[in-house]
A and B are shown apart, each in its own frame.
Chain A
Amino acid sequence: MENTRATRVIDPETGSNYDVAHEKSPVFYDTYERKADLRHQTHYCPGCGHGIVHKLIAEGIEELGIKDKTIFVSPVGCSVFAYYYFDVGNVQAAHGRASAAATAVKRACPDKVVLSYQGDGDLAAIGTAEIIHAANRGEKIAVFFVNNGIYGMTGGQMAPTTLVGQKSTTTPWGRHPAGEGFPLHMSELLSTLEAPTYIERVALCDNKNIMRARRAVRHALELQRDNAGFSFVEILSPCPTIWGKDPVEARAWVSDGMIPVFPLALFRDRKPEMPVVPEPPQRPVADVLELTTSRDAAEPQKSLAADHHSFSHIGIKIAGFGGQGVLLLGQLLTEMGMREHLEVSWLPSYGPEMRSGSAHCHVCLSKERVGSPLVSAPDVLVAMNEISLHKFAREVVPGGLILYNGSNLPEGFDDSEVHVVCIPAGEIADVVGSPKAANIVMLGALLEATECLNSETAMQVLEAKVKKVQLLEIDRKALTAGRDYIDHQVGAVSQPDGFA
């Protein structure tokens, strides 16, 4: 047998010589220093399956020569202390999360071998979501799922794999499917997924099956050594102490009680077919983060420097329906202000993505650091619809300006303390080519009426933002039309007080 070693040992006390046919795998520590006491033996009960599974894994690691590149993620449950024994890199995870933690360990160390070792409560109850999704992503990890149908460490409560009728401390009359459901078949469940490479259920009921388990464990590890995909080995395992049986009876129960419910099978052993999808381009960090100077952000001309602005701070509120380009209009103004060396801020009303709801945004243009980005008393209100006009007009400072998207003010609107300019922006936009450009008509009108920012900057910003030539042409016309409307139809608009 390939795992049998014969080593000649000389007993230091008696001086006698003898051959050791089986010795502890060098993947286990010589003595278990992380244990508080009894450092020469494990914390597992006599007859427990964990010791066997540990041994199979350690021997597999040894045989494949991957000890130095293996990372073992241990769970919560009896095997929480797997790191006492395995002389490999160890990460101890939260209850149920070992496969999530292992996912990220593997992605951080893609050329290493990552194992997740989990019990039935850990994997099939509290960690069900994590194992299904790790498997569904085809994470390149090996998961060893030790199924003994009971919570061992916490003293014998029901597990999701507890058999129907099996007594536990939380099913004192036996598991009743009407209230507690049926045993969960994890291997079968994961076999419905596309991504896993290898899924097999084995049992520790007799030597023949233990040898089968050994081959399964080794195969799962080989797949990891070869970076070949997600492997999952479910191991039906005895828990004599909690089952109230002696080790021999417990082994028999694995074969007589468990295997009929959890049939042993190789469910999957093939590499998943991966469709060809585009790979992301690889680019320098500075380019990806747009930290380099580009055409989009040419330095503004000198004449547009901040000290040429007549105001020290203005607050603008823009409001309308979602889809009217209200937020974009605000962004354009903010970008323009930034290019003209002002301090600026843009604050949106944000909500679930929707098209017909209300939207508004706040824009501050200032020569000083912007304090509150909320414009609670706007110098200028751009009201793209009647609802917004009614809603926000009373916030406008006395002597402030309202640009209203409409031919006439609604009847009864009190404009005694503010200047109101009506602009049929929708109609004008329609004429220049698209009703969607009403926001740009309003931008033109705003620039012409207030002279707060330069319309050349507006074109620079539009050129940078609008990639489609046709749309850019419509925007150019809309901007000009908005300015012309003020120029020709309205005439000089008295400056809002804040601009003085």
Chain B
Amino acid sequence: MRQLCKGNIALMKGAILAGCRAFYGYPITPASEIAESAALYLPQIGGTFLQAESEVAAINMVYGAASAGVRVMTASSGPGISLMQEGISYLAGAELPCVIVDVMRGGPGLGNIAPEQSDYTAMVKGGGHGNYRNIVLAPASVQEMAELTLLAFELADKYRNPAVVLADGFVGQMMEPLELEYRNAELPEKPWAVKGTVETRRNLISSIYLEPDGLEEHQRRLEAKYIRAQEFECRHEAYCTQDAEVLLVGFGIVSRVLLSTVEALRRDGVRAGMFRPITLWPYPSRALAKAASKAQNVLVVELNNGQMFEDVRLAINGEVPVKFFGRVGGNVPSVEELKEIVMSFAHPSRNRFDATAAHHTEEKAIDPYSMLVS
């Protein structure tokens, strides 16, 4: 049965179906509905909700709960995520599974509360100290807010690693039909957890390895885990990529605009396709390279200054020209806008977009409203 649901609330419903019974967080727009629904739902089903004194405290509470082996999460947005980065590094170092949600807003600093995708680097490349990775999933619909959160809990436990749901203000705030069936969560055994029992008394949760050889060995073990995740956990969606001469690449809310853009371009006879990474780490590089193999041009569209752009270029490795178009500050490109941009390089004779203007330079050229880099 479908219910009309806000993205942020759908996310919390998915989390609960995944067996999450602990939420520690701090309010921030545009993520607050996640904490609010956790506060409403969890106490009614024997779970724990706590509004912490700060994001710093919240992420360390996540650390504590994860140490005890429960499925636990937090949710925040840019400024709060910055405060959590220390804790995320500890979680990764201590190999503690948990889910961290970032409903991205505009930055840097206080920025604004409108949607951006500018925490890509912070979450995908690891904004905390040390060598570690987050598993990062990027939902593009209300349904996926729930489903990818369910998946995030599974992957977090499977790899004993923090998993991030990297959403944006639009996906968090929009309402769409949500279809969820009740199911009992299957919770894995966690023999490593510290539970205050005879069996777990010898367990230790820690990220400290004082001896260089010990720390190197620990990191090699983490690295082996990351390599396994890269092998098995890459996820993506490809739309009309089989015969695409222009491949549009974007994640989250942008991929929805790209989907409509592909349809509009195809109506005009331009063979466009869309590739959307669902896992931002591990990045579906091989699938992307394949999807781009027949294209003449690849255009990366993001609500940032080109953060995923770098990963696309690495994946395509010079085989096809890769261009970038970004909007920031809370602006989201429209289908019409993107169509004109694609036409400017795919069919320069057929459009009025000035392809010779300052956008097309080796350096990233910025006009007051947009960025197009080639």
Contacts and interface: CB of A to CB of B under 8 A. Distances in A.
Interface in B112-140: 113
Contact of A346 (B46, B176, B258): B176
B65 A71 contact: no
Contacts of A106: 64
Given A94-B87, A283-B44, A350 B29 contact: yes
B60 A89 contact: no
Contact of B257 (A281, A371, A377): A371
Nearest to B194: A89
B64 A73 contact: yes
B86 interface: yes
A352 B198 contact: no
Interface in A458-494: none
A87 B174 contact: no
B182 A289 contact: yes
Contact of B45 (A103, A285, A292): A285
Interface residues of B, number: 79
Contacts of A297: 1-3
A350 B109 CA distance: 19
B210 A91 contact: no
Contacts of B24: 104
A130 B176 contact: no
Interface string B33-57: 0000000010111101010111011
B63 A345 contact: no
Given A91-B194, A105-B68, A371-B263, A100 B211 contact: no
B229 interface: no
A285 B16 contact: yes
A21 interface: no
A193 interface: no
B335 interface: yes
Contacts of B64: 73, 91, 93, 100-106, 108
A100 B336 CA distance: 50
Nearest to A376: B334
B204 interface: yes
Q: Which of B29, B56, B211 has the most CB of A within 10 A?
A: B56
Given A89-B196, A291-B181, A334 B4 contact: yes
A92 B29 CA distance: 32
A108 B70 contact: yes
A89 B94 CA distance: 15
Nearest to B96: A91
A68 B253 CA distance: 50
A289 B13 contact: yes
Contacts of B348: none
B268 to A, nearest CB: 15
Interface string A326-364: 000001001100100001111110111000000000000
A288 B177 CA distance: 18
B260 A89 contact: no
B198 A68 contact: yes
Given A104-B68, A105-B67, A108-B22, A90 B203 contact: yes
B280 interface: no
B208 A80 contact: yes
Nearest to A92: B206
Label chain A's interface by main secondary structure. Answer: mixed
B197 A97 contact: no
Contacts, number: 228
Given A283-B44, A345-B174, A372 B16 contact: no
Nearest to A342: B177
Contact of A370 (B1, B22, B60, B176): B176
Nearest to A281: B44
B324 interface: no
A289 B259 contact: no
B90 interface: yes
A103 B61 contact: yes
Interface in A289-347: 289-293, 297, 331, 334-335, 338, 343-347
Nearest to B174: A347
B61 A293 contact: no
A83 interface: yes
Contacts of A73: 64
Contacts of B45: 282-285, 288
Contact of A87 (B41, B201, B259): B201
Contact of A101 (B60, B175, B263, B335): B60
A376 to B, nearest CB: 4
A373 B57 contact: no
Given A289-B13, A289-B17, A291-B182, A372 B54 contact: no
Given A90-B204, A372-B260, A133 B68 contact: no
Given A92-B205, A376-B336, A109 B195 contact: yes
Contacts of B165: none
A485 to B, nearest CB: 28
Contact of A331 (B4, B263, B334): B4
Contacts of A83: 204, 206
A34 interface: yes
A106 B24 CA distance: 13
B58 to A, nearest CB: 8
A108 B21 CA distance: 9
Given A89-B197, A338-B4, 17 more contacts: A83-B204, A92-B206, A93-B90, A104-B63, A104-B65, A108-B65, A108-B70, A129-B54, A130-B53, A288-B45, A297-B3, A335-B4, A338-B2, A344-B4, A344-B177, A371-B256, A376-B337
27 contacts: A68-B197, A89-B194, A90-B205, A92-B94, A94-B87, A100-B64, A102-B64, A104-B62, A104-B68, A105-B68, A109-B196, A112-B196, A129-B53, A280-B44, A285-B17, A285-B45, A289-B182, A291-B180, A350-B29, A350-B30, A350-B113, A350-B173, A352-B29, A369-B259, A371-B258, A374-B332, A377-B334
6 A-B pairs with least C-beta separation: A112-B196, A371-B260, A104-B64, A376-B334, A108-B68, A101-B64
